[in-house]
Amino acid sequence: MKIFQIALGILAAIGGFVDIGDLVFNVSAGATFGYQLLWVIVIGVVGIIVYSEMCGRVATVSGKAVFDAVRERLGFRTGLAALVSAQVVNLMTLTAEIGGVAICLQLLSALPYRLLILLAGIVLAIVVWTTSFDWIERVFGYGGLCLLVFAVAAVKLHPSWSAVAHGFVPHVPTQSPVLYAYFAVGLLGAAMTPYEVYFYSSGAVEEQWGPKDLGLNKANAMIGYGLGGFLSLALMIVGGALFLPKGIEPEFLGSIALTAQVPLGQIGLLLALVGILFAVGGAAIDTMFSGAYNLAQFLGWEWGRYRSNSGAPRFTATWLVLLVLGLGLVMTGIDPVQLTEYAVIFSSVALPLTYIPILLVANDRSYMRQYVNGRLANTLGLFYLVVIVVVALAAVPLLILTNAGQN
Amino acid sequence: MTLVQDGQSTRGSSAKLIARVASALLVFALAGCNGGTVDKHALKRDAEKVGSLATEGELMANDVSKGASTKYFVRVHAKELSGAAADFEDSLAKRPTSPGIASDVRKLSKLAGKVSRELEQLHLHPTDRNVATSLKQPLLDDADAADKLAK
């Protein structure tokens, strides 16, 4: 069925755009600046569509995913630096997402948090061990669509639509420009977070796309990430409509669910929690697989869920080890929401090391034959490379200057 | 293409990148310490946060009073908010303050304690509409009081 064929893009986008940190970050941005940062989401969405389409095309034509290109194009030492930074951010994010799954289960059941962390880890391991890649992306991608409840909530909260429209026009506010810049950089970093393209390009290989699937690649990138961006917009609007006028600063996952409960009651709350559960669970799988994909591709191991667990033993062992490490870290009591917000900022620093090799390979005719980048893809690719470099340079100073958005 | 050469030329910058990430991690670790003197700016920020917790609690109490929430959600989320308010109560009671604002800081500490106890009631009675109704006004008053301290 056609609808199932865009599941990869939807899972990559939902796992990437609306993971635990993004959920809180988007609503916080709305609660702090209203609708003034909506334009940043649009810029981020177009950027991730451009680069996902590019790396999906590379994977489709050459059979090579992102870290194959990183290793080949950056050389061993710089490639290794890219690998280490990617794996650190992956592990931070995976840890946060496992915590997010447990928090979500706790909001649904009130059972003890640490018990739910264990349960989340066991369920994730069983699901990934026993379920095919196709079904993983369908279950978590389409389950995450319950998050559309936030779009309904946004409408029901009756925001000022003229103010919303104004938010799509790029501008810098006169008040708190540094904090505004911090949120802008965080939103761009979250939209273009590297594990989305690691997962997406490897997923294209998992699904054994060939040149005949280039249209499917475009559809996945545009519809999947477009949907992720739409959800981000909805989250910012509910933050601006509900929390900003009341002076609420959301810091918990429960606060995000409250934005659906207030206008829609119990059904809104339950849909929000189920949607968050699938989105955060999907993000956990995205990051766990991304970590395993990256290492396997960099070291030239057999990889992929399309092989059996024993058919790619080092790949299987890697995602299992990452899962155990993530479980161990979240068991220490680390705050998942804060952790993933830091992960977003740190991943911003590593963005150029991910995106430059993609742009280089997509322009290499010996790989891509007639499927090399056209003028539009290169213009957009270069524009976003500049954006990425600016984000990478600004991320840590802004983190320090704003005390991670707390000042 | 001479792309491996490009990779070689970026080795120096990758070392700088690692150093930058390491220093940021240090900042991250230090940011976790919620100590230091409470100055006017910190008082304002903490008052805003206490007010935010009270307002969010009122929002939730309002939904509980209408039967528009679920038992488990209220039990867990009210506990989170109550715990955050209790953290403010503790830290504001202990931290040194800049001259001239000590009284306001202690007032805010007491207010945070009150917010924490009210949210604890919501946590203990997550389906009791009467309790929720009785908490709405006090939480709104707390938010107003915090707002005054923030100014």
Q: Note the helical H segments in A300-364.
A: 313-331, 336-362
CB B50 within 8 A of CB B146: yes
Could you tell me which of A223, A294, A217 has the C-alpha nearest to residue A61? Answer: A217
Residues with pLDDT less than 70, chain A: 1-6, 8-9, 11-12, 15-17, 407
Residues with pLDDT less than 50, chain B: 1-12, 15-16, 18-19, 26-34
Residue A99 corresponds to which tokens in the numbers above?
């915590």
Measure the CA–CA gap between A292 and A303, rounded to whole angstroms.
8
Measure the CA–CA gap between A364 and A378, rounded to whole angstroms.
12
Could you tell me which of A48, A38, A2, A15 has the C-alpha nearest to residue A226? Answer: A48
pLDDT of residue A5: 64
pLDDT of residue B20: 52
Residue numbers in B near A70 (CB within 8 A): none
Measure the CA–CA gap between A27 and A21, rounded to whole angstroms.
10
pLDDT of residue A12: 67
Could you tell me which of A68, A29, A303, A361 has the C-alpha nearest to residue A181? Answer: A29
The type of residue at B28 is F
State the count of interchain CB pairs (< 8 A) between A and B.
125
Rg of chain B on CA atoms, in Å: 22
Total Cβ atoms within 10 A of residue A390: 13
Measure the CA–CA gap between A367 and A372, rounded to whole angstroms.
8
SS3 B66: coil
Are B72 and A110 in contact (CB < 8 Å)?
yes
pLDDT of residue A407: 66
pLDDT of residue A101: 96
Measure the CA–CA gap between A286 and A52, rounded to whole angstroms.
15
DSSP letter string, A217-258:
HHHIIIIIHHHHHHHHHHHHHHIIIIITTTT----SHHHHHH
Q: Note the helical H segments in A239-312.
A: 253-299
pLDDT digits (tens, 9 = 90+) for A27-47: 999 999 999 999 999 999 999
pLDDT digits (tens, 9 = 90+) for A175-215: 889 999 999 998 998 888 888 888 889 989 988 889 999 99
Residue B90 corresponds to which tokens in the numbers above?
């503790």
pLDDT of residue B32: 43
Nearest-CB residue to A78 (from B7, B45, B55): B7
pLDDT of residue B35: 59
Measure the CA–CA gap between B30 and A397, rounded to whole angstroms.
15
Suggest the residue from A70, A71, A78 to mutate for an interface test with chain B (most B CBs closer than 10 A): A78
pLDDT of residue A15: 64
CA distances, A22 to each of A101, A103, A207 (Å):
14, 15, 27
> How many alpha carbons lie under 13 Å from residue A361 in its C-beta half-sphere?
30
Are A110 and B20 in contact (CB < 8 Å)?
no
Measure the CA–CA gap between A51 and A359, rounded to whole angstroms.
8
pLDDT digits (tens, 9 = 90+) for A350-392: 788 888 888 988 998 888 889 999 999 999 999 999 999 999 8
Residues 6+ apart with CB under 8 A from A292: A303, A315, A316, A318, A319, A322
Residue A221 corresponds to which tokens in the numbers above?
């990138």
Residues 6+ apart with CB under 8 A from A322: A90, A91, A94, A287, A288, A291, A292
CB A213 within 8 A of CB A29: no
pLDDT of residue B130: 97
Residue A169 corresponds to which tokens in the numbers above?
């026009």
Are A251 and B18 in contact (CB < 8 Å)?
no
DSSP letter string, A363-405:
T-HHHHGGGS--HHHHHHHHHHHHHHHHHHHHHHHHHHHTTTT
Residue numbers in A near B39 (CB within 8 A): none
